[in-house]
């Protein structure tokens, strides 16, 4: 899967999805559903997309996650500040409250048809999109679990060999996981000591919690909904779960109560969170607000955003299906949001959906996006796909994209739920957190990979246990790997971490930087290796992510800064480790094959 080509490909796709019709026809800029509702006399929720969007591609040239995050945040803020004034002036002139975003250059407001016309007539406005409220897929509860519930290490953790990684000393320490869900019971014994806002004695929710729920979903059946209808309330200043889903997913990522309930893949990691759904109902605006906060967390007054406090990985279990109001317009908008997070060095893990077992059932944002790392669900029996797990290819956007990327345990997953309890659920929402936890394990094992999203995703894919099926989806046989049922297979934390450790330069300090330069990165069928001071016989080797040597060249150097072109042939896409052996000195580095 050539994900590192995704930015240019998706940029073209987004430009097409965001293309508007005849200049001067204001109605052509407005979603037909929004227009019809406004013309009927209603005040409508809408997302006003600005024409100019920030170019954050320069982040790819930066080395650290901190540098990438700061660059992306500043670039996004600059474009929003330079372009949003005309829209704000119209809204302020009409006395209409609004919410401004920069992670995608857009403004949310509720407007009537007169204001809608004025906004659509602005040259600065590209489109006016709907903001549908969508019900999250509930976890599937089957009668009779496949395994007996127990205290101790859960089956999913053992199945992906996460406990073997703990034995190596890597538990996710130093890594921060972000959760976007129904909220979290932060004082649950399984997750309280993992919360970044808790030091063991006092709580500080600044930069660690955000509530994107400011109103009751209009799709509830309440005749006069009030904040009291929600068990948490609105705009709450400490984590609270108005359902059970978020607490359960966080437990699978980091949970361990110290008393036998070892439910989390990365118990050494810390977590921060945002509530982006109101009792399971969310909208593009609540999802976008949560993502923007993760990009640069703020204090509880939503002031002083700080991209250095962003998580390393975000887990997402929401979807926005066309049947509930999402369409090509807001597909593209949410896609851009995910792209910008990835550019900032943040891994975006998304549940693939519970609409299987037919092909083409991965059909909702954010699982459909190329730069989302989408996860299907496997079951204990036979280590096979769960019947409900959605399959590819992605056809709803015309891409035919391979999905899911991988699968992980998603049946009879026991984790924590509110009221300090535990429960077992089924769903791809239970599978995704296993992979978010795996990302934390990888980054704790090799911190040099922090911010290097492409390499992290490739490592997880290429070390997954290959899974095959007789089901053929699209034009790819289920007997091939990857396929549209399992992706690259069921994740294997031990194999992924072992390969991540291979990418650590264990040779002479500074040798690679001072004596050798390997380019381009990513490469196609040739590498250019520049030697500065090495002389005599030098061996250049290339290894794939499975540890197999795929190339060996013996070179004779005269010294004085020679360059050698090394043909690599038709290697498959992915991450490769190179080794340079010069006498008794050996060092290495990594390159990506496009």
Which residues are part of the catalytic machinery?
181, 245, 429
Residue 158 near residue 218, CB atoms below 8 Å: no
Residue 416 near residue 422, CB atoms below 8 Å: yes
| Non-local CB neighbours of 72 within 8 Å, separated by 6+ positions | 56, 59, 295, 307, 340, 343, 344
Residue 593 near residue 551, CB atoms below 8 Å: no
- The three-class DSSP label of residue 89 is helix
d(CA 352, CA 368): 8
Beta strand ranges found along 140-216 (DSSP E):
152-153, 176-181, 209-211
- C-alpha distance from residue 267 to each of 240, 273, 356, 525, 550 (Å): 21, 16, 31, 41, 36
Residue 333 near residue 47, CB atoms below 8 Å: yes
User: Within 13 A of 228's CA, how many CA atoms are on the CB side?
Assistant: 1
d(CA 320, CA 324): 7
| Non-local CB neighbours of 364 within 8 Å, separated by 6+ positions | 319, 320, 321, 326, 353, 396
Phi, psi at residue 4, to the nearest 5°?
A: -75, -5
Pick from 426, 95, 129: nearest CA to 283: 129
Buried b (16+ CB within 10 A) or exposed e, 478-504: beebbbbbbbbbbbbbbbbbbbbebbb
- 287: tokens are 């999802």
d(CA 265, CA 260): 14
d(CA 165, CA 440): 11
Q: Angle at Cα 576 formed by Cα 486 and Cα 580, nearest 5°?
A: 160
- 250: tokens are 């966080």
Residue 294 near residue 310, CB atoms below 8 Å: yes
Phi, psi at residue 271, to the nearest 5°?
A: -135, 150
- C-alpha distance from residue 187 to each of 38, 197, 525 (Å): 44, 11, 53
Instruction: State the sign of the Cα–Cα–Cα–Cα dihedral 110, 116, 121, 127.
Output: positive
Phi, psi at residue 92, to the nearest 5°?
A: -65, -35
């Amino acid at each position: 899967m050539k994900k590192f080509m995704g930015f240019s490909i998706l940029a073209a796709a987004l430009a097409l999805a965001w293309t508007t019709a005849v200049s001067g026809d204001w109605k052509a800029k407005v979603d037909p559903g929004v227009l019809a509702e406004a013309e009927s006399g209603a005040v409508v929720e809408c997302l006003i997309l600005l024409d100019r969007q920030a170019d954050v591609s320069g982040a790819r040239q930066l080395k650290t996650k901190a540098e990438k995050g700061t660059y992306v945040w500043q670039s996004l803020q600059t474009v929003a500040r330079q372009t949003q004034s005309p829209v704000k002036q119209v809204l302020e002139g009409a006395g209409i409250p609004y919410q401004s975003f920069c992670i995608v250059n857009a403004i949310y407001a509720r407007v009537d048809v007169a204001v809608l016309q004025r906004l659509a007539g602005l040259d600065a406005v590209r489109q006016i999109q709907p903001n549908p409220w969508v019900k999250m897929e509930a976890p599937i509860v089957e009668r009779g679990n496949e395994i007996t519930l127990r205290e101790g290490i859960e089956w999913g953790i053992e199945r992906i060999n996460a406990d073997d990684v703990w034995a190596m000393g890597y538990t996710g320490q130093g890594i921060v996981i972000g959760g976007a869900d129904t909220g979290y019971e932060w004082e649950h014994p399984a997750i309280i000591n993992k919360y970044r806002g808790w030091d063991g004695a006092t709580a500080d929710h600044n930069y660690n919690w955000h509530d994107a729920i400011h109103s009751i979903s209009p799709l509830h059946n309440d005749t006069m909904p009030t904040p009291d209808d929600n068990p948490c309330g609105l705009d709450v200043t400490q984590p609270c779960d108005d359902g059970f889903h978020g607490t359960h997913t966080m437990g699978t990522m980091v949970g361990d109560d110290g008393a036998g309930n070892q439910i989390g893949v990365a118990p050494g990691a810390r977590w921060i969170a945002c509530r982006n759904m109101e009792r399971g109902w969310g909208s593009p605006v609540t999802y976008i607000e949560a993502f923007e906060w993760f990009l640069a967390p703020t204090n509880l007054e939503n002031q002083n955003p700080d991209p250095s406090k962003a998580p390393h990985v975000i887990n997402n279990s929401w979807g926005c299906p066309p049947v509930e109001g999402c369409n090509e317009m807001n597909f593209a908008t949410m896609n851009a949001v995910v792209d910008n997070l990835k550019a900032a060095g943040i891994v975006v893990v998304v549940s693939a959906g519970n609409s299987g077992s037919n092909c083409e059932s991965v059909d909702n944002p954010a699982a459909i996006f190329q730069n989302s790392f989408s996860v299907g669900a496997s079951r204990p029996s036979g280590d096979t796909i769960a019947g409900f797990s959605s399959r590819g290819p992605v056809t709803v956007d015309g891409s035919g994209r391979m999905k899911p990327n991988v699968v992980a345990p998603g049946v009879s997953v026991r984790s924590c739920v509110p009221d300090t309890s535990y429960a077992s659920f089924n769903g791809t929402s239970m599978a995704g957190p296993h992979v978010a936890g795996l990302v934390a394990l990888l980054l704790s094992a090799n911190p040099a990979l922090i911010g290097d999203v492409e390499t992290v995703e490739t490592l997880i894919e290429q070390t997954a246990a290959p899974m095959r099926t007789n089901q053929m989806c699209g034009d790819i046989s289920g007997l091939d790997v990857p396929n549209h049922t399992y992706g690259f297979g069921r994740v294997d934390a031990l194999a992924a971490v072992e390969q991540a450790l291979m990418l650590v330069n264990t040779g002479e300090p500074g040798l690679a930087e001072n004596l050798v330069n390997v380019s381009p990165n990513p490469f196609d069928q040739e590498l250019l290796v520049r030697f500065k001071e090495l002389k005599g016989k030098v061996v250049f080797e290339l290894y794939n992510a499975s540890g197999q040597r795929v190339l060996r060249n013996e070179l004779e150097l005269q010294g004085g800064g020679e360059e050698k072109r090394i043909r690599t042939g038709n290697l498959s896409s992915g991450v490769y480790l190179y080794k340079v052996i010069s006498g008794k000195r050996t060092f290495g580095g990594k390159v990506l094959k496009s």
